[in-house]
Amino acid sequence: MLNFFVLFTIGSVIGSFCQVVAVRGLRAATLTTTPSHCDYCGQRLRWFELIPICSYLWLLGKCRNCRHNVPLTTLLSEMAGGSLAMFYTQLTPNLPLLLIGFLLLIMSLCDWQALEVPSYLLIIAAGLVVIAVLTTSQLEIWQLIILILWSSYQRWPVFHRWLGAADIDIIVLYSLLAGPIITAQAILISSGLAIICFTFWAQRQLPFVPFLAVSYYWLLWCLL
The pLDDT value recorded for residue 102 is 96
Q: Determine what percent of the chain is predicted with pLDDT higher than 90.
A: 39
- Residue type at 62 in one-letter notation: K
Q: What is the mean pLDDT of residues 88-108?
A: 87
Q: Report pTM.
A: 0.87
Q: Contact, 119 vs 33, CB < 8 A? A: no
> Which tens digit of pLDDT belongs to each residue from 133-170?
888 777 778 888 888 777 776 655 444 444 347 888 89
Q: Encode 6-47 in three state secondary structure.
A: HHHHHHHHHHHHHHHHHHHHHCCCCCCCCCCECCCCCCECCH
Report residue 32's pLDDT band, with 50, 70 and 90 as the boundaries. Answer: low
Q: What is the bridge-based pairing of β-strands 117-118 and 162-163?
A: antiparallel
Single-letter residue type at 175: S
Is the backbone of residue 117 left (phi > 0), alpha (psi -120 to 50) or beta?
Answer: beta
Q: Give the chain's mean pLDDT.
A: 85
Dihedral, CA of residue 114, residue 115, residue 116 and residue 122, to nearest 10: 120
Structural domain boundaries of the chain?
A: 1-86, 88-224
Separation between Cα atoms, residue 102 and residue 36, nearest integer Å: 20
The pairs formed by 145-149 with CB atoms below 8 angstroms and a separation of 24 or more are 146/172, 146/175, 146/176, 147/176
Please name which of 162, 184, 201 lies closest in space to residue 212, comparing C-alpha atoms. 184
Give the residue-averaged pLDDT of 128-137. 86
Query: Which helix (DSSP H) or strand (DSSP E) does residue 118 occupy?
Result: strand 117-118
